[in-house]
Structure formats: C-alpha cells, structure tokens
Amino acid sequence: MSKMNLNRRSFLRATALAGGGMMLGLYPKVAALAQPGRGAAPALAPNAFISIASNGIVTITAKNPETGQSARNMLPMMIAEELDVEWKDIKIVRADLDAKYGSQFSGGSTATPGNWEPMRQIGGAARHMLIAAAAQTWGVPEAECSTASGRVFHKASNRSLGYGELASKAATMPVPDLKSLKLKDPKDYKIIGKTTIGAETKDVVLGKPIFGIDVTVPGMLYATFQKCPVYGGKAVSANLDAIKAMKGVKHAFIVEGQPITGNFMTSDPGLEPGIAIVADSWWAAQSAREKLEVKWDEGKWATQNSVDIAKKADEISKQPAARTLRKDGDVEAVYKSGAKVVEGAYIYPFISHAPLEPQNCTAHFQDGKMEIWATSQTPQNGRGMVSRILGIPENNITIHLVRGGGGFGRRLNNDYMCEAAWISKTVGAPVKLLWTREDDMQHDYFRPGGFQYLKGAVDSNGKLVAWQDHFVGYGDGERFTASGNIDGGEFPARFVPNFLMQSSVMPLGLKTGALRAPRSNVYAWVFQSFIDELAHAAGKDPVQFRLDLLSSGTPGGMNAERMIGVVKLVAEKSGWGQRKLPKGTAMGIGFHFSHQGYFAQVAEVTVLANKKIKVNKVWSAGDIGSQIINPGAAENQTQGAVVDGMSELLQEISLKNGRVVQSNYHQHPMLKMSQTPPIEVHFIKSNNSPTGLGEPALPPILPAVCNAIFTATGERIRTLPITKQGFSFA
Amino acid sequence: MIKLKVNGVTRQHDGDPDMPLLWYLRDELDLKGAKFGCGMGLCGACTVHLNGKPVRSCSTPVSAAANAQVTTIEGLSTDGTHPVQVAWQELDVPQCGYCQAGQIMSACALLAKNPKPNDADIDTAMNGNLCRCGTYLRVRAAIHKAAELTASNATKPATKPAAKSASGAGANLLPRNGGKK
C-alpha cells in the first residue's frame, strides 16, 4: 500500500458559505488516484469536507460506503481531532457518489491506512486557517493563539472567538503548506483513541429506514429477477402471458443479459440473463414468480458436480504440478535426509457471503437520466457498468450511497445494480429490485473452494526444514479465478530454507469473489493447521514452535518481530501452558498477517460427546499500529471477526448438476448467541502508522479452533466444514 | 377484510390474507423497521410482537394477526428512550445494524416476561436471532443493561447512575468477557 501524500496527490480549497461560514474541501489530482497494492485493495483517494456554519456547527462529510465497519465515525474522528472541536458538536453527513470526493470505496481494510494522514491534515489545515483569521482580527501574532473545543484563544488579552464566528474570514485565509503543518502530539488526543458511538446507531435502534431495502420513491414498482439456476444459462421461453395476467403484475420479460463465456470468471460479469417480473408490490411480484415456468438453455456447466471436482483435484494432486511459483533449496533432498516428514491434504469448500440484507437496488430512469440508490461497496465500478450496459453517459447517472446490511465483500460486485437499472429503463418507471435469500445464496460471488496438498519436514532438533504445497484451484492456464489466487510469498516462505509452492487449476462454472479477508480467511487455516501438525511431529509446544519459526526468517513483507509480539501477548493473556485443563479440553493457536495487520488468536475448546464442540473462550491479540482510533468499534469488529470465522467452519456451498445445493441459512449456518464464547480483545500499540482491522482479525480463529480440537482429541481437521469429520458446535 | 392494531393504531387489510405480515407492515404501512432476511423464519430479522409474543413476520400471514395487537420497533418509542433502546445505544451494539430491530424486539419480549434474565435465559430467548456481524456479546450485555435500567427506573430516583454493565473490566464499553455472568 502506498502512503498517501496530500501535497502530491491532492489540493485543499476553502470556500466561503452563503450566509456565513466556511467549507474546506480536499480535491484529488485525478492522475494520482487508484494505485492498487497487493491483493484487491485500491488505494483510497482521501477526500472529505468540513463545513463550519456561522453558528459553530461543524459538519463533516463521510465519503465512504458504510456496511457496518464504522468508517462513518472513524474518518470524521480523525478530522475532528486535529480541528480541535468537541465530538458532540460534530454532525456527520453521508456523501452521495460524486467525483468531488475522489475514490469512494469500502473494502480491503483500507479506510484507516489510506486516510490516517490526509484526514488529520485536513483538520489541521482548517484549524490553522481559523487561527490565522483570529490573529488577523485581533492584530496579534498567530503564535500567541491557541485552540480548544471549537474556539480560538488569545490568552494574553483574554479574548476568544468561536469557530463559527471566524469561519467566513477563515475561508479567505491562505491554505497552509501541509508539509510544514504541525499535527498534534498523540498524547494530546481527545477524540482519537476514545470510543465514539456509531453515527447511525440511534437510527438503527429506532428502526429508521436507512438501509437499501428501505428506499421508497414515489410511483415505485417492485421487481424480482429469476436467473437460471445454472451459472451461464439463459431463458429460452417462459409463460410470461400467464404471469402478466396475475394480480398486481405490471410487466414480465426476458432479459438477454451479456453472454458468459470462458473457463472461469475473473471479474464482475455485469448483467446476467434472467426473467424480470415487475408488480405493484414485492409480494405480488414474488407470488407471480412462484408460478413461473421457464424453458432454460442451461449452457455448458449443467453437468458440474462438487464430487467430480473433488475427484479431479485428487487426480491432479498425483501428477506433476502445472506451475512452480517459488522454489527455495531442495525439499526432496530434505525428505531423503532422514528428517521427519508429514503430509496432509487440506480441502475447503466454496462459501457464501450471506449478508443479512439480501441484494437490492432501487433505480429510476427518466428523460435519459438514471438515479440509483444502492448499497454497493464499489459504486464507481457500478456506475461504469450501468453506463456501459445501458448506453447512458456516466454524468447522467446519479448514485446515492445507502447503508448496507452487511457487506463482507458481496457488495464489491454490482450485478444487482445492473439488473435494477435495466429493469427501470425497460419499464420506464422507478423500480425497487429485491432478491430473495435463495437468490442471494445461489447467485453469489462465492469464496473459492480449493485443495492444498502439503508436505513438510522437521529435523532432529525439531526445526522446520522443508515446506511444500501443491495448490489445486480454479482458473485457466496462468490465471486464477477471482480471489482464488495464490503466490509464492505465502507464509512460511522466507522462514523455511527448503520451500516449494506449486499450483494447478481446473475450469469452473461459478462466480467467485472476495469474502472478508479474501484468501487469508482459509489459507490461514491451511498453513496454521499444517504448522501445528509439524509442531506436534517435532514434539514441540505449538507456541514455541511458531516463535522459533518466526525467528528464522529473512527480511521482506511481513515483519516477524510484530508477529512475535502478538503471539507472545496472546499466549500470556490466555495463560498458554500455565493452566491445567481437564481431559477433553485443550487450547489451540493460530496467527496470520493480512491487510497490514498482525493477529494471533487462541481458542480454548472442550470436545463433548458425539464430537460436539464448546468453545469456552477466545483470546485475540492484534498489532495494527500506534492507535486504536475507536476502541469500542475495534473491539466490536474483532469479536465479530471471531464469530464470523467460527461460522465459516460450518459453511459449505456445493454444486449438483450445475446448481448450488444450499439455499438458505438452515443449510449455510451462522453461529448463534449460545455458541458464542467470551472473546478477549487485546492490542499492542506499536510504533507504526495505524492500519485496518475488519479483515486481519478474522483468519487466525479458524486454525486456533481446529488446532485445539486436535490437542483435545488427536483428530486433525483437514476438511471443511468440520461437519465432514463429524464435528459441530454444541 | 382483516382488522388489526399496529402500534396502537387500528388498521384494516383488504388484500391477500396470505401475504406475510412483514410485507404488509413494510410496504403497505411503510413501517420499515422489521427486516427481510430469509423469508423462512430462520434469522429473526423480521421479529415483531403479536399480542406481546415475538413472531417471525416473514412467515406469519396477515390473517394470523386478525383482531390482534401488533407492535413493531417503531412502536417502542419515537425517541429511543425505551430502556432496551437506551441500552443498545449505550453499548453501541450494532455493526451493520440490519438484524438489530429483530434482536431488540426479541429482547423486549424476553424482558417483559423475565425482568432479570440470566445468560442461559438470554441465550434461549435470542438463539433464533442471527447476527451476521457477530454482535452477540454486546446484544447479551445490552439485555442485562436494559434489565438493570428498568429495575433502577422502577425503584430509584432518575438521578441514580445506571448500574455497571455485566462484568466490570475492560477499557471500552464492554467487559472483556463479553458480559458473561
């Protein structure tokens, strides 16, 4: 991730407000936008507005989409801190999609690292201009002025002016050179590092209509969209006349969509084929849909089955790998040297995002212009796709960013936006498209499943000396399916002298995409479970084995010292090796580095009769830099990540005759309250710039639980979901 | 024709009696608080009270509410002063917030019949309400808090500070052990 530099990438501009007051905006220099780092996360172009009304009310525009990570609090907190105002005097407003805000994106745990410096600089610049305005008013040097709680003070003459009184004049002051702008010493922080309550928490508890599904537009119709149950299939004909005759139905028509070709999917295909039913209520549209009789052309994937895919992967694993991604030393020589060799095949399924709010979108096409209300995490991409598919210039498309009922990566794609826009344009009326849960679960961009064939060796001193992984995934040639990629740098590369990472791919007729902590959410389970196998083979304590491993690396990428710090902290907090546990109860550990965050987690697990698992407690230790900006939200996110990760141990999406078998939460479960353990959350505040946390806090819990199960039972979980081996949560 | 009372207001429905109560509330009465999550009574996001009992409105036909009293989250208070809403705000329970109306309605129904529930009581009453963001520890702590607020409102002057949340420690809003008792 590149570090933001406000001077090089953007410029500040101050404007006087009509009726008094000032507005400070940060304008990106367009050429400096989007510089993708490793993984799927483009750099954010930070941009926000502060406006200070003459009555002193400070309004901060939160530019990013909100799907529950509290970005709508955090970005304004950074500004408010340096502006030196009281949090209670801040009003947060939501931005629509607009070029003046630069990139508006939610994903990749990028909001903190991408905004930490520029957001504070914006606040600091505004404060500086308010001081300049006060100094000029009083005819005193700026250096004699100070600020506190939204006022500028001149202590020597016992004078003060509120920001509101100064705002109009401040708007005429020169914007300071941001390089020489002095920001606060962190020890003086009054807002950063203190918990603030969510900007929309009150609306949530009042049941206010703030989500995408709640949008209402005058004259609005309601739509459902039936896609072929087989990916890539399309409707040949349907009983549309009968459907149109049903009560409340206004329109029913086939949407051709875009043809889907190729051996796998690399990105959002946009508008898929299907059948739209538009009615005067959603219930009428959905009731009509249940009477739909369709002749499908199921296309090329109708014979695809999960069991066949698994057999094929097994066959591939016995052949030489298609590609070698990294080779250090000589693993084969180690295996022949008399070292202790361990092998294991790790198999994991596709899983669905299943955000609680099913995909929906409201669109209104009128007079050549499209207005859209969407919960998208990538509204800019969505607007581009709608423009392309419908032939509407981007500047004729308005997008309102509505709160999403969970994202987890699902709303990075904009299929529902394309569908709603197409339907509205076709019927010439505002339309709210709403998917059912079954639509959402069966037409997701799934977390790719995969197969990893591992082999490793420990020497007579118990040191890890060889690591080999044949990754069998999906793709074509050298290309992997979306979020199903792997590379030679995966841990423990650089920490083992003999290391071999290879890959092979199979074609896939299913959409895949990023799920919270993409790749990491299951690779951590593979790598940290197999490290555990090797630790036991070496006869070493799993924590000590990891600390030894982390101490043996060569520089580059992950900072081993920071990881050692969180492993030691979580071991200490959990009392690792210090407590006598009853038979059937054990602790397991996992760590993982992703999205610039360092996390280690320990789970204490009791295995009851019939392989029922009770997770008694979880300890989490993270290092995401020098500040935990909003501690209450950070704790909530971390605990949620642990719950989410535990749920993933239970989930599976499988294919039969090209169709997704699972349709609703009874077949793709989530953890329940009674299954949720107490979760202790700890952070190390290290001397590093703050980074994000929504994603890196998730991966370690999966191996931590499975490693504890092994210690408790002697049974190693090498296949997910854990139910495949007969385990379940009590 | 079906007559019912929703948040104290008499309503009548002349349409499809089999339509789920959820869609009647959301799309005909414009009460958007109850949410659509699964359509099968599996997630609890649509929970409302029918004669004081929590029901999944996505799989309850309007006809089942004939001559009954329906309460939605909009009927708890208009200003967030219901003790459960207060507790939810103080502990900043939500992440995405989508499930929370259902969580709150289930919590209110529990507290109405059991003013001082223990963890096991809470888990039993709340297990049908899924939270995709995993805020269960805060939901549980907020229910304890709401119980304390209600008790102290009933017996103490309003100036008494709210009782401490379930189990003390923790630099933030929640105890480190997530409110386990």
Q: How far is B148 from chain A (nearest CA, A)?
A: 18
Report which of A90, A86, A88, A18 is spatially closest to residue A48, judged by C-alpha positions. A90
Among A25-39, A374-388, B133-147, the range scoring the smallest mean pLDDT is A25-39
In this structure, are A230 and A255 located in the same domain? yes
- Amino acid (one-letter) located at A420: A
Strands B2-6 and A655-656: unpaired
Give pLDDT tens digits for B61-95: 999 999 999 999 999 999 999 999 999 999 999 99
Element at A40 (helix H, strand E): none
Tell me the C-alpha distance between A557 and A562, whole Å.
Answer: 12
Tell me which chain B residue has its CA closest to the CA of residue A645. Answer: B134
pLDDT number for residue A62: 81
Q: What residue numbers bound the domain in which A276 lies?
A: 217-300+359-434
Residue A46: give its domain's CATH number: 3.30.365.10
Could you tell me if A16 and A22 are in contact, meaning their C-beta atoms sit under 8 angstroms apart? yes
* Minimum distance, in Å, between the CA of residue A112 and any CA atom of chain B: 17
Paired tokens of A589: 């550990």
B112-128: pLDDT as tens digits: 999 999 999 999 999 99
Is pLDDT of A161 > 70? yes
pLDDT in tens, A231-240: 999 999 999 9
Per residue in A2-17, pLDDT tens? 233 344 445 667 777 7
pLDDT at A27 over 70: no
Q: Are residues A430 and A557 in the same domain?
A: no
d(CA A470, CA A316) in angstroms, rounded, equals 10
Question: In this complex, do A665 and B43 lie within 8 Å of one another by their Cβ atoms?
Answer: yes
- A68–B138: do the CB atoms touch at under 8 Å? no
Tokens of residue B149, six digits: 């607020």
Whether the pLDDT of residue A44 is over 70: the answer is no
Contact list in B for residue A642 (CB cut-off 8 A) is 134
Cross-chain residue pair B136–A671, CB shorter than 8 Å:
yes
Q: Does A631 contact B172 at a Cβ distance shorter than 8 Å?
A: yes
In a domain, A202, yes or no: no
- Reported as a pLDDT band with limits 50, 70 and 90, residue A42 is very low
The pLDDT value given to residue A174: 87
Cα distance between residue A266 and residue A479, in whole Å: 8
Say if residue A144 is in the same domain as residue A126. yes
Q: What is the pLDDT of residue A26?
A: 59
Q: Which two tokens stand for residue A456?
A: 């490793």
Q: Does A175 reside within a domain?
A: yes
Q: Please give the backbone phi and psi of residue A321, each rounded to the nearest 5 degrees, phi first.
A: -65, 155
Residue A597's alpha-carbon distances to A380, A408, A441, A558, in angstroms, are: 27, 17, 30, 9
pLDDT tens-digit readout, A184-202: 999 999 999 999 999 999 9
Tell me, yes or no, whether A630 and A669 share the same domain. Answer: yes
Nearest-CA distance A408 → chain B (Å): 9
Which of A200, A247, A674 comes nearest B123 by C-beta? A674
Q: Which value does ipTM take for this structure?
A: 0.93
pLDDT > 50? residue A146: yes
A552 within a domain of the structure (yes/no) = yes
**Same domain flag for A41 and A58:** yes
Calculate the CA A306 to chain-centre distance.
Answer: 27
Q: Two tokens at A358?
A: 């099913």
CA dist A515 and A706 (Å) reads 21
Please give the span between the terminal C-alpha atoms of chain B, in angstroms, as a whole number.
49
Same domain, A454 and A313: yes
Is A671 in a helix, a strand, or coil? Answer: coil
Residue A662 lies in a domain: yes
Higher pLDDT: A275 or A123? It is: A275
The one-character DSSP state at B156 is S
Mean pLDDT of all residues in A376-403? 94
Angle between helices B83-90 and B136-155 (to 10 degrees): 130
Mutual angle of helices A520-538 and A542-550, in 10-degree steps: 110
Say how far apart CA A299 and CA A233 lie, in whole Å: 5
Q: Report the C-alpha gap between A156 and A163 in whole angstroms.
A: 19
Nearest to A632 among B20, B92, B124 (CB): B92
In this prediction, residue A98 has a pLDDT band, given cuts at 50, 70 and 90, of confident
Strand A431-434 to A397-401 pairing: unpaired
Q: Outline where DSSP puts E strands in A257-339.
A: 274-279, 294-297, 323-328
State yes or no: pLDDT of A1 exceeds 90: no
For B28, counting Cβ atoms within 10 Å of its Cβ (0-12 exposed, 13-18 middle, 19+ buried), the class is: middle
- Fold agreement (B2-75, B83-155): no
A387 backbone dihedrals φ, ψ, rounded to 5°: -60, -45
Instruction: Tell me which chain B residues have a C-beta less than 8 angstroms from the C-beta of A195.
Output: 92, 172-173
Is the pTM higher than 0.90? The answer reads: yes
Per CB-CB distance under 8 Å, the chain A contacts of B101 are: 204, 207
Sort A641 into a burial class: Cβ within 10 Å, 0-12 / 13-18 / 19+: buried
Domain shared by A183 and A80, yes or no:
yes
Asked whether residue A162 carries a pLDDT value surpassing 50, the answer given is yes
Is the Cβ pair A642, B30 closer than 8 Å? no
Same domain, A274 and A327: no
| Beta-bridge partner residues of A238 | A294
Higher-scoring residue by pLDDT: A33, A135? A135
The answer to whether the beta carbons of residues A585 and A604 sit under 8 Å apart is yes
Q: How many residues are there in chain B? A: 181
CATH of B2-75, one of 3.30.420.40, 3.10.20.30, 3.80.10.10, 3.40.50.1220: 3.10.20.30
* Same-domain pairing of A280 and A347: no
Question: What is d(CA A657, CA A304) in angstroms, rounded to the nearest whole number?
Answer: 5
**Residues contacting residue A605 through CB under 8 Å, at least 6 positions apart:** A585, A586, A587, A588, A613, A614, A615, A616, A705, A708, A709, A712
CB A531 within 8 A of CB A545: yes
Q: Which of helix, strand or coil describes residue A188?
A: helix
Residues A187 and A262 in one domain: no
Q: Decide if A259 is inside a domain.
A: yes
- Overall number of domains in chain A: 3
Cα distance between residue A676 and residue B141, in whole Å: 13
Q: Above 80 in pLDDT, residue A25?
A: no
Residue in B closest to A207 by C-alpha: B33
Q: Do the Cβ atoms of A673 and B100 come within 8 Å? A: no
What are the E-state strand segments in A267-419?
Answer: 274-279, 294-297, 323-328, 340-348, 360-366, 369-374, 397-401
Domain-ending residue, one of A434, A468, A490: A434
Residue A35 confidence (pLDDT): 32
Q: Are residues A313 and A294 in the same domain?
A: no
Reported as a single tens digit per residue, the pLDDT across B149-173 is: 999 988 765 444 444 333 333 333 3
The DSSP output letter for A4 is P
The pLDDT > 90 percentage for chain A reads: 80
Cα–Cα nearest to A546, from A558, A536, A531: A531
List, in sequence order, every residue forming a beta bridge with A598; answer none if it has no partner.
A593, A623
Size of interface A-B (CB pairs under 8 A): 206
Rg of the Cα atoms in chain B: 17
* Amino acid identity for residue A35 in this structure: Q
**Residue A218 in this model has a pLDDT that exceeds 90:** yes
- Chain B residues whose CB is inside 8 A of the A281 CB are 23, 27-28
| Residues A106 and A239 placed together within one structural domain of the fold | no
Q: Is A311 exposed, middle or buried (0-12, 13-18, 19+ CB in 10 A)?
A: exposed
In the chain, the amino acid numbered A366 is Q
- Chain B hits for A406, Cβ within 8 Å: 96, 98, 132-133
Range A244-277 burial, b when 16+ CB lie within 10 A, else e: bebebbbbbbbbebeebeebbbeebbbbbbbbbb
Is-contact A640 A632, C-beta < 8 A? no
To the nearest whole angstrom, how far is the Cα of B176 from the nearest Cα of chain A? 5
Mean pLDDT rounded to a whole number for chain A = 91
pLDDT (0 to 100) of residue A15: 72
Q: Do B42 and A204 touch (CB under 8 A)?
A: no
Architecture of domain B83-155: Orthogonal Bundle (1.10)
Q: Which of A42, A50, A12 is nearest to A104 (CA)?
A: A42
Question: Across the strands, what pairs with A211?
Answer: A403
What are the boundaries of each domain within chain B?
2-75, 83-155
Q: Closest to B98 (Cβ–Cβ): which among A70, A211, A222?
A: A211
> Which of A402, A515, A629, A673 to mutate against chain B (most B CBs within 10 Å)?
A673
Q: Which residue of chain B comes nearest to A437, CA vs CA?
A: B38
Least confident of A29-43, A92-106, A292-306, A333-347: A29-43
Out of A411, A434, A457, pick the residue that ends a domain.
A434
Region A400-411: what's the mean pLDDT? 94
Mutate to test the interface with B, among A69, A197, A201, A204 (most CBs of B within 10 A): A204
Q: Which of A666, A672, A681 sits opposite B176 (nearest CB)?
A: A681
Please give the pLDDT value at position A102: 67
A527 pLDDT higher than 50: yes
Structure token pair of residue B75 = 């009927």
Question: Does residue A397 sit in helix, strand or coil?
Answer: strand
* Structure tokens belonging to residue A351: 């899983």
List the single range of A36-40, A235-239, A402-406 with lowest mean pLDDT: A36-40
